[in-house]
Structure 1
Amino acid sequence: MKLYSVKLLLESTVIPNDNSSKTFEETIVLLRASGQDDIETQIRDHFVNLTYENAVGGQTTWSFVTILDVFELVDHFDEDVDFKEVYSRFLPFDKPMTASEVIELYSLDK
Structure 2
Amino acid sequence: MAQDTDKRNFALRETGGEEPSVFSGRTPRQAALKAARRLDPADSEVAAKANSTTIQLREKGTTKVHVYEGWAWNERAPDDKPDWMPTEITKGNVSKEGVEHLEEI
TM-score, length basis structure 2: 0.28
More relative contact order, 1 or 2 (CA 8 Å, 6+ apart):
1
Looking at secondary structure, tell me which structure has more strand per residue. Answer: 1
